[in-house]
Structure 1
Amino acid sequence: MKHLLFLTAFTTLALALNAQEIHFPPKNGPWAKMDAEKAKMDPDALLKAVQFAKENEYSGSRDLRIAILKGFEREPYHEILGPTKKRGGPAGMILKNGYLVASWGATDRVDMAFSVTKSFLSTVAGLAVDHKLIANTADRVANYVWDGTFGGEHNGKITWTQLLQQTSAWSGTLWGVKDWADRPPREGGVDDWKFEAPKAPGTVMEYNDVRVNVLAYALTHVWRKPLPMVLKEQIMDPIGASTTWRWHGYGDAWTEIDGLRMKSVTGGGHSGGGIFMTAQDMARFGLLFLNNGGWEDKQPISEAWIKEALAPSKANPNYGYMWWLNEQGNRYWENLPEHLFYAAGFGGNFIVVDQERGLVVVTRWLEPNKMGDFMRLLYAAMR
């Protein structure tokens, strides 16, 4: 029943969006602007929200190698395995129906996006469904990837849905990293984590980059081409993104398909790698989801996929297919609409989408525990 109500609400939002004029920025810009009054926002209150974002910079080092090693120091054997880049200062954009209402910082600077990458990876999975390379997300991955990565009684049960919702409990080692060593529980030690029996697939949501990277590996074999090429051709070029973004994997993350050596990318950057991108390109991606996968007269990703991707999982009501959902749960932003959904990454990187109000919000390097406060200030500015 809750899933049916979600789909009904989603359809209502889609109809409301179709009644609004959505502006799509041209390739290479410039972004068309809308003043706060026309966007039905109080200018002074909006300025207060922007100033808050500028004054609450992520407290970690701007040298992201240092920030990464410090941020994940509890993980046994943790090391930098992929590219990193020193970051810039706070930056962000606020869009109303595709028009730029406010921006701050260097929105054209390429920076690491960390786990925002996961929402791009999820979209590549959606493209595989749209192109009928994956018949159904309920299928077992072992039916598509038979090289042993999904072999055995446990891993053989894992479905695409479970990988996308981070409930797969995939067990093993990928690119030299063991699944149990990635974000281990607060209690216990290495021996406890190492010898704990894996949970049944689909029962518990565990945020785990090894298992996300297994998804990227599996999708690479389904597409039979590097995922950055898929994303570029199917999504980023159609939405007019810049040529500056990159998607990296670990140094030794190579696989061979059809006699060609291909890099298998990561779904985050907590050991380096992942997507490196500007705030402006992130905003374009958010605008695509604001408009239910449509861009001008094109439909790069199907509306049916977006509905599926934004449905809450049984194991965690705050998580869909690698998008966070502002439903009642551990990740709930109090006093903010429950229909919000967002991509989130280490260091305060966010893409927030509110389809009902026509809003896309991008933040870079905002102290993560201040994000809810920033969003409440922004919504307080709305009339």
Structure 2
Amino acid sequence: MTAFTDAIAYASAHEVPWPRDPAADPASWGVHHADPAPFNRLRGPVHPRGGVSGVVRVGGHEVAAWGEPDRADLTFSVAKTYLALLAGVALARGLLDPAERVGHRLPGIGFDGDHNGAITWTHLLEQTSEWSGTCFGMPDQVEHNRRVTHDPKPPQGRKGEARVLQAPGSYWEYNDVRINQLSLALLHLFRRPLQEVFLDTVLRPLGGGEGFAWQGYDDAWVTLDGQRLPSVPGGSHWGGGVSVGARDQARVGQLLLDGGRHAGVQLLPGGWVERMRQPCAIAPFYGWLSWLNRDGAMFPQASPESWFMVGAGGHYVWIDPAHEAVVVVRWLDPAHSTGFVERVAQALARG
């Protein structure tokens, strides 16, 4: 742990400036405030958080931990990558083909017609679907022209301002409504709550899952096979989403570092993880619901092989094959993420 003392101290000194209790100062908590009315409100449950915490694993072993690494906190868009893992599980079960049009297997849930009917699972996974419609009361337009920290694209217009849609696969846009539509589609494939599927196929086989929860919006329910099931979001933009501990996040990162294999068992299909790391043709900074560091575009100090799960509120899961490392940090002020990565990179380089 001594090697990472400087990085840990730096992270601990730069906590995200959100209140620890969302109810204490609602106007300073979350990212929904930037949305156009009436969509600038929470629609699902949220809960108080802990302080800065994290875990470092090198060579498959935990070498550092700080804060409350087992505390299950909201993790925002890190959950998007979890949807990509579930898509891999669906592939292993013969429930999808990434190149297949979603509506071919799931008619009647929003993937029909000339435009949406052309959308494939790959389009959804790389955020190029251009899906158009309303998902549980949220129109895709709410997220038109959205900019996030690591998106190099210049602004195209005001957030929520309607723009001309492009053909599926031809335009990249970070869009939570479309991600929620992907989650709905996966629910229809598994026909079980995605929380249960993720626990059974990923977290529990890794030895984790304590305190894990994946909650939906208050009104995001569907009835399948006579059961009322929650459709969960791929983040906590409007509340709900994944609550998970830093150690469990590190376990998931280790699974990806190990190519989807754990304790001699292939939990994800062979080649799936490598495909997740391949750059999107029109957005080479992005893979399948994960961020890439090609040419050091995200973090110059990190190896170019590095890739990341990133969530609002300062959540990072950094997978570094060059150093056989997984680094998790939570509730770090994003304005200081580069300083943290630089200090960890220096420690990893020293061995």
Superposition TM-score, scaled by structure 1 size: 0.84
Q: Do the aligned partners of residues 241 and 80 (structure 1) sit closer, same or farther apart at CA in structure 2, a change above 3 Å counting?
A: same
2:114 maps to which residue?
A: 153
Report the AA paired with residue 359 of structure 1.
Answer: A
Residue matched to 2:303: 337
- How far residue 91 of structure 1 moved from its aligned partner, in angstroms, is 0.4
* Cα 1:64–1:121 shift into 2, 3 Å: farther
* Aligned residue number for residue 371 of structure 1: 337
Task: Provide the rounded CA distance (Å) in 1 between the counterparts of 2:120 and 2:232.
Answer: 20
Contact 1:317 1:328 survives alignment (8 Å): no
Q: 1:357 to 1:67 in 2, by over 3 A?
A: farther
Aligned counterpart, 1:31? none
CA drift at 1:64:
3.5
Contact residue 318 and residue 328 of structure 1 kept, 8 A: no
For structure 1, the residue ranges without an aligned partner over 5 or more in a row are 1-34, 37-42
Please tell me whether the aligned partners of residues 126 and 301 of structure 1 are also in contact (alpha carbons under 8 angstroms).
yes
Write the deviation string for residues 66-117 of structure 1: whole angstroms up to 9, x where unpaired: 2676633231122101110111110011111122222111111111010000
Cα distance 1:178–1:286, how it changes in 2: closer, same or farther (>3 A)?
A: same
Q: Aligned pairs, how many?
A: 337
Query: 2:253 matched to 1:286?
Result: yes
Q: How far off its partner does 1:145 sit?
A: 1.3
Q: Is residue 50 of structure 1 aligned with residue 25 of structure 2?
A: no
Name the CA shift for 1:188/1:307 in 2 (closer, same or farther; >3 Å).
closer
- C-alpha distance in structure 2 between counterparts of 1:204 and 1:63, whole Å: 37
Q: Which residues of structure 2 form unaligned runs of 5+?
A: 147-154
Q: Is the partner of 2:342 in helix, strand or coil? A: helix
AA in 1 matched with 2:43: L
Matched, 1:71 2:31: yes
Given the alignment of the two structures, is residue 252 of structure 1 paired with residue 219 of structure 2, yes or no?
Answer: yes
- Measure the CA separation in 2 of the matches of 1:67 and 1:281: 30
CA pair 260-148 structure 1, distance change in 2 beyond 3 A: same
Give SS of 1:114's match. coil
Distance 1:184 1:60, change over 3 A: farther
**Which AA in structure 1 matches 2:267?**
P
Residue of structure 2 in register with 1:19 after alignment: none
| Structure 1 contact 266–274 (Cα < 8 Å) conserved | yes
Pick the aligned partner of 2:323 from 320, 345, 357.
357
Q: Which moved more, 1:157-166 or 1:256-265?
A: 256-265
Indicate the SS of the match to 1:303.
coil
Q: Output the CA distance in 2 between the equivalents of 1:310 and 1:324.
A: 8
Distance 1:366 1:67 in 2: 19
Return the match for 2:95 from 126, 133, 140.
133
Q: Residue 63 of structure 2 aligns with which residue?
A: 101
Q: CA deviation at 1:302?
A: 2.2
- Residue identity matched to 2:102: V
> Which residues in structure 2 correspond to 1:160-179 (within 5 Å)?
160-179=121-140
* Cα separation, 1, equivalents of 2:335 and 2:94: 40
Instruction: Answer yes or no: is 1:327 the counterpart of 2:289.
Output: no
Change (3 A) 1:301 1:188: closer
* Aligned mates of 1:170, 1:303 — CA distance in 2: 29
The 1:292/1:222 distance shift into structure 2, 3 A limit, reads same
Q: What residue in structure 2 maps to residue 25 of structure 1?
A: none
Paired letter, 2:142: A
- Decide whether the 8 Å contact of 2:31 with 2:312 is kept in 1: no
Q: Distance in 1 between matches of 2:29 and 2:5?
A: 35
Specify the code of the residue in structure 2 equivalent to 1:149: G
Checking the alignment, whether the CA contact within 8 Å between 2:301 and 2:341 is kept in structure 1 is no
Instruction: Assess if the C-alpha contact under 8 Å between 1:348 and 1:365 holds in 2.
Output: yes
Measure how far apart 1:345 and its partner are.
0.3
1:61 to 10, 19, 24: 19
In structure 1, the residue matched to 2:166 is 199
Is the aligned partner of 1:296 residue 2:272? no
Is residue 2:86 matched to residue 1:124? yes
CA distance in 1, matches of 2:237, 2:340: 24
How far apart are the structure 1 equivalents of 2:301 and 2:64? 22
Q: What is the CA RMSD across the aligned residues, in angstroms?
A: 1.8
Aligned to 1:30: none
Structure with the greater alpha carbon radius of gyration: 1
Aligned to 1:89: 51
TM (norm. structure 2) is: 0.91
